[in-house]
Amino acid sequence: MNSPLKVGITGGIGAGKTFVCRVLEKMGYPVFYSDKEAKELMNAHPGIVEEIIALVGEQAYEDGELNRPFLAEKAFENKDLLSRINAIVHPRVREAFADFAEQNAGFKGIVFNEAAILFETGAYKTFDATVLITAPESVRLNRVVERDTIPESQVRSRMNNQWKDEEKAKLADFVIHNDGTTMLLPQIENMLIKLAEIGKRT
């Protein structure tokens, strides 16, 4: 079987990546959730656990589980630490996606990968196409405060570690506006038609 078209779906915190990906899943497309995979690997992958402890100390884990609030507070205020954590976690997430893509050669030959940071890491270069989900910062902020019941300051510290939409849009093949006003489904359907055309050419 031909290898599936690999399509990266990204967007800033609260843009609605997962929301859009759930729609794609309902349509039958396989979606790999990088952030979720990263979470699972950080809890269970012995190599990652060892390297995280070596980097930040035993406090990084509590009762065998990643101490996320502890690590989040440190990492989102320290770009160097965050990039070291990324360097430990991302290669393993990439490996897991390669397996997923192979196993899910996919409905109409497309496999989606949802990832919060795709352009920032350069990982976008490994995809056949990229999709940026956008929404104004104020909308994203309100969504996440409501979804996670966390203070605005914590959402902003994550935003500060992500590129602005304008920078990402320059590199994205498709932009989906998920501002709560623009109709979402026609944009998704339009993207799928164009992806099918790209699939035929590759």
Ligand X SMILES: CC(C)(COP(=O)(O)OP(=O)(O)OC[C@H]1O[C@@H](n2cnc3c(N)ncnc32)[C@H](O)[C@@H]1O)[C@@H](O)C(=O)NCCC(=O)NCCS
Ligand Y SMILES: Nc1ncnc2c1ncn2[C@@H]1O[C@H](COP(=O)(O)OP(=O)(O)OP(=O)(O)O)[C@@H](O)[C@H]1O
Instruction: Summarize the annotated binding site for ATP as residue ranges.
Output: 14-19
Cβ 7 vs Cβ 129: under 8 Å: yes
Give, as ranges, the residues between 16 and 55 that touch ligand Y (CB under 6 A).
16-19, 35
Least Å distance between CB 179 and ligand Y?
Answer: 8
Structure tokens at 148: 């996670």
HSE-CB at 45 with a 13 A cutoff on CA atoms is 18
Give, as ranges, the residues between 35 and 94 that touch ligand X (CB under 6 A).
35, 38-39, 42, 68, 71-72, 75, 82, 85-86, 89, 93
Least Å distance between CB 164 and ligand Y?
Answer: 15
Under the criterion CB under 6 A, does residue 143 sit at the interface with ligand Y? yes
Q: At what angle do helices 34-44 and 79-103 cross, to 10 degrees?
A: 110
Residue in this structure with the two tokens 């800033």, named with its chain if needed: 12
User: Measured from the CB atom, is 23 or 171 closer to ligand Y?
Assistant: 23
Least Å distance between CB 103 and ligand Y?
Answer: 23
Interacting span for ligand Y (CB under 6 A) from 8-16, 46-54, 55-63, 122-130: 8-16
Please tell me the distance from the alpha carbon of residue 14 to that of residue 104, in angstroms, as a whole number. 27
Binding residues for ligand Y (CB under 6 A): 11, 13-19, 35, 116, 143-144, 147, 178, 180, 184
